Amino acid sequence: MKIEQIYTGCLAQGAYYITSNNEAVIIDPLREIQPYLDRLKRDNVKLKYIFETHFHADFVSGHIDLNRETGAPIVYGPSANPEFEAIIATDGQEFPLGDIKIKALHTPGHTMESTTYLLLDKTGKEYAIFSGDTLFIGDVGRPDLAQKSAHMTQEQLAGILYNSLRTKIMTLPDEVIVYPAHGAGSACGKNMSKETVGTIGNQKATNYALRANMTEDEFIKEVTDGLLPPPAYFGMNVAMNKQGYESFDTVLHNGMKAIEVNNFEAVVEETGALILDTRQNGAFAQGFIPQSINIGIDGDFAPWVGALIADVKQPIILVTELGQEEESVTRLSRVGFDKLIGHLKGGFDAWKNGGKEVDTINRITAEEFAKKVKIGESKVIDIRKESEYCAEHVDEAFSKPLASINDWIKDIEPKEPFFLHCAGGYRSMIAASILQARGFRNFTDIEGGFNAIAKTVVPKTDFICQSKVL
């Protein structure tokens, strides 16, 4: 028996590849399936099942393409109703795999079809669980994402999750290994650990939601407290996972179409495409195609695309560093942004060398900011998460998280100057590109963000946790 966790940092997502006696299963595969096909060929094993723990909201699974390529059946837990052929397991149903078995444990609460898969070794011993979004290391799945489809409140779903955890998960032996679907950075929970593997015993001892003396009412209160609104693209990804989607090969083919500089503007106009520049924030600041939005491929690219562009049907044309076209397309497809028109042939240098109009972002160093800012007079907007702001921030700065920019941008006065920063420059450049695309040019971005500002003499505070509002 072999278990491999295939972890993708950009999405904080874990897929699982399990083999036993020349047979394999894959749990919660990512959209691009070639790496899985390569593993199957390398190990000379046959894919027997494709297990899905639930209808994912934060990414598009590769289950449909994997089924097309291998013929392996897709397996969901009880109450799932996909619009394609699949095995709907019954609670407790066992699936043989070589010398071992995979047992479906229906664990609703995060969603109603959520299912944990229990691995029984060749002796029948309970060895490991693949818990999807039911149980994370340090947290449990948020119960607010499936309210509409389940016709329930988040409190009702949380109550169901409480019972699932206590009757199906916490009753397992302490030594059972826990393999969750996500780690820290995912929007599917609020308190996930950076660790991506644990045990039942460790979680019973350390996970706030598995406290032994916790009542159902206490669980509901603690699990629902502090939940941020889910990203707008989540519902669209659920629909794609449930209804089906275009083949990744087709999406990749379209995204890899090279658009000549001289045709670029005409294609943008004809298709209504958004120009998405995936270069590093420093390069973008120095020059970019007017109206471009910068979300760098070197950061949490896919989640920010999903959160800020939101509509997966939005046509997109890419501007990338040379050689990063395929990676950009792949990451977009993972969160369902399939309507790719192509990419700028030759990248931004081709645009600049072609004599086309170039825009820039007004950006200064933290040292320059320290000389220019006047605390109490200058407006400073901190776009980090509220928790980061609460920990420490520039004195008198306003807290305006990037995730809600589409809401707070309407409060910006177009003629009043302000400074803009995040933690290191990645998120503030996203915000700067959005602001500039919408006509705002009255701001200055701080290179290096708060990490650089903290090393200057600019007054800071770590005592005030209430956000200052515009």
pTM of structure: 0.92
Domain presence at residue 470: no
Coil, helix or strand at residue 285: helix
In a shared domain, residues 317 and 369: no
Domain presence at residue 358: no
For each of the chain's 470 residues, which pLDDT tens digit applies? Answer: 999 999 998 899 999 999 999 999 999 999 999 999 999 999 999 999 999 999 999 999 999 999 999 999 999 999 999 999 999 999 999 999 999 999 999 999 999 999 999 999 999 999 999 999 999 999 999 999 988 888 999 999 999 999 999 999 999 999 999 999 999 888 887 778 889 999 999 999 999 999 999 999 999 999 999 888 888 899 999 999 999 999 999 999 999 999 999 999 999 999 999 999 999 999 999 999 999 999 999 999 999 999 999 899 999 999 999 999 999 999 999 999 999 999 999 999 999 999 999 999 999 999 999 999 999 999 999 999 998 999 999 999 999 999 999 999 999 999 999 999 999 999 999 999 999 999 999 999 999 999 999 999 999 987 555 556 56
Starting at the edge strand that comes first in sequence, how are the strands of the sheet with 87-88 ordered? 2-8, 13-20, 23-27, 46-51, 74-76, 87-88
Q: What CATH number does residue 425 fall under?
A: 3.40.250.10
In a shared domain, residues 324 and 410: no
Starting at the edge strand that comes first in sequence, how are the strands of the sheet with 443-446 ordered? 363-364, 443-446, 418-421, 379-382, 398-399
CB 410 within 8 A of CB 400: no
Of 173, 205, 235, the residue at which a domain comes to its end is 235
pLDDT of residue 39: 96
Q: Write the DSSP symbol of residue 447.
A: T
CB 54 within 8 A of CB 113: yes
Domain presence at residue 469: no
In a shared domain, residues 319 and 175: no
pLDDT of residue 462: 72
Of 193, 210, 235, the residue at which a domain comes to its end is 235
| Residue 346 to residue 340: CA distance in whole angstroms | 17
In a shared domain, residues 338 and 379: no
In a shared domain, residues 199 and 346: no
pLDDT of residue 186: 85
Coil, helix or strand at residue 331: helix
Q: What CATH number does residue 161 fall under?
A: 3.60.15.10
> Residue 444 sits in which domain range?
363-461
pLDDT of residue 226: 86
Q: How many domains does the chain have?
A: 3
pLDDT of residue 4: 97
Q: How far is CA 336 from CA 15, 83, 143, in A?
A: 17, 17, 22
Of 192, 215, 235, the residue at which a domain comes to its end is 235
In a shared domain, residues 212 and 264: no
